[in-house]
Structure 1
Amino acid sequence: MRTFIPGEHAPGDIYKLMIGMIVPRPIAFVSSVDVQGVRNLAPFSYFTGCSTNPPVVCFCAAVRTGARPHKDTLENIRATGEFVVNIVSEEFTEKMNATSAEVAPEVDEFALAGLTPLASDLVKPARVAESRIHMECRLREVVVVSELPGGGSLVLGDVLRFHIAEEVLLDSYKIDPEKLKAVGRMGGPTFVRTHDRFDMKRP
């Protein structure tokens, strides 16, 4: 077994290790708007829920190199305090992937990827109509972990509304993974489907 000491390796190499071992990662397909109302849509695979009472979700926006180190999503959320997390299913993974391209802030990624905006109930950012689950969120806090390239800001949002397609509901509160067909991220360009599952009872 090899041991890696972070300070002795380039951040890019540590990144490769982390995205290869923290798997599979669910994808937060985050929609936001800037103060002028321009729509933004981007996928984030450092994503999870962190509280159910109240319901809170979080994702991490990485710091990039170059003239625009912060993603438009993060800047928009800081400015407006609102966003939507859309869950990615197999049918539109290629369109989701198209939104990960580096484009200017004025580019509408809904239009870029050919995805359909759907009005939200309480927040300004649109939902992705192709998604079977949406979470309308209000910003709770941004935790800046590091401003260095490869660092990140953890975005925590209170879920104000859950929108769930009827066909993925098994009953009032259980979601059918077979109908949801969610996808996740592995290392590099590799994604994963969620077909191969097994159950275990908790002791």
Structure 2
Amino acid sequence: MLHIDTDSISKMQSRYQANFFNTVSGFKSANLIGTANQNGHTNLAIFNSVIHLGAKPPLLGFILRPTTVDRHTYENIKKTGYYTFNHVHESFIEKAHQTSAKYDRKTSEFEACGFEEEYFDRFHAPYVKESHIKLGLKFKEEHLITANDTILIIGKVLHAYLDEKLIAEDGSVDISSAGTVTISGLYEYLRTTKLKKFEYAKP
């Protein structure tokens, strides 16, 4: 078995190292984060770092890269306090990936990448109409990760929209049946297949 140590890592070419550590950690979520500024101009960007933080209250987080350049998603969240998570599905992975391109502030990725904005319940931030599972969140707090200057953004889920048939009797959501995809690294999208569901483990 190959052994990669700190000395090996220090000798890696920059892009090689980025690809290695973006994939070796395992599969990641695929979400489009929808925001709008105070004037209603929308922004849409793909993120592979959404994480579950708790269910009561329902909290989700995501990692934002250093703000050394304009981060339209971050700016909109801080100014309005609202944003949406929209699962990426097989039918539109190419368009979803395109939202990672560096569009200027005046360009909405909804229009540029071929997505339709959708609004519910007077919520300020736009949802992605094409997505099968959509969540509306309110910003709660942020934490600077000083090790690499990234930011953990934490939000509380206020709204969830999905087909009732995807929810099991115990409340579990069947994201595989919904067609939600997962990401390996930065550029590779994969289908998911349910293997087995276990009961709550006890000693």
User: Separation in 2 of the partners of 1:154 and 1:11?
Assistant: 24
**Residue 177 (str. 1) matches residue 175 (str. 2):** yes
How far residue 115 of structure 1 moved from its aligned partner, in angstroms, is 1.1
| Higher mean C-alpha displacement, 115-124 vs 95-104 | 115-124
User: Separation in 2 of the partners of 1:60 and 1:11?
Assistant: 21
**Residue 134 (str. 1) matches residue 134 (str. 2):** yes
TM-score under structure 1 length normalisation: 0.85
Alignment-derived partner of residue 190 in structure 2: 192
Give the direction of change, closer, same or farther, for the CA distance of 1:178–1:45 in structure 2 (3 Å limit): closer
- The share of aligned pairs that are identical, in percent, is 21
Alignment-derived partner of residue 164 in structure 1: 162
Aligned-partner SS, 1:96: helix
Q: Is the 8 A contact 2:182 2:191 kept in 1?
A: yes
User: Separation in 1 of the partners of 2:134 and 2:175?
Assistant: 15
User: Separation in 1 of the partners of 2:138 and 2:22?
Assistant: 28
**Residue 54 (str. 1) matches residue 57 (str. 2):** yes
Q: Which of 28, 31, 48 pairs up with 2:31?
A: 28
Alignment-derived partner of residue 155 in structure 1: 153
**Residue 74 (str. 1) matches residue 74 (str. 2):** yes
Q: Which ranges of 4 or more aligned residues in structure 1 deviate by more than 4 Å?
A: 5-14
Give the direction of change, closer, same or farther, for the CA distance of 1:6–1:76 in structure 2 (3 Å limit): farther
Aligned-partner SS, 1:180: coil
TM-score under structure 2 length normalisation: 0.85
Aligned-partner SS, 1:197: coil
Q: Which of 15, 20, 30 pairs up with 1:17?
A: 20
User: Separation in 2 of the partners of 1:11 and 1:108?
Assistant: 31
Deviations, residues 31-88 of structure 1 (Å, cap 9, x unaligned) = 0011221100001111111011100001111127xxx614210111111111011111
Q: What letter corresponds to residue 181 of structure 1 in structure 2?
A: G
User: Separation in 2 of the partners of 1:23 and 1:121?
Assistant: 36
Give the direction of change, closer, same or farther, for the CA distance of 1:5–1:47 in structure 2 (3 Å limit): farther
User: Separation in 2 of the partners of 1:3 and 1:139?
Assistant: 39
Deviations, residues 169-197 of structure 1 (Å, cap 9, x unaligned) = 34472322342111111124212210263
User: Separation in 2 of the partners of 1:139 and 1:157?
Assistant: 4
Paired residues, what number?
198
Q: Is the 8 A contact 1:6 1:14 kept in 2?
A: no
Give the direction of change, closer, same or farther, for the CA distance of 1:74–1:12 in structure 2 (3 Å limit): farther
Could you tell me which runs of 5 or more consecutive residues in structure 2 were left unpaired when the two chains were aligned. none
Could you tell me which runs of 5 or more consecutive residues in structure 1 were left unpaired when the two chains were aligned. none
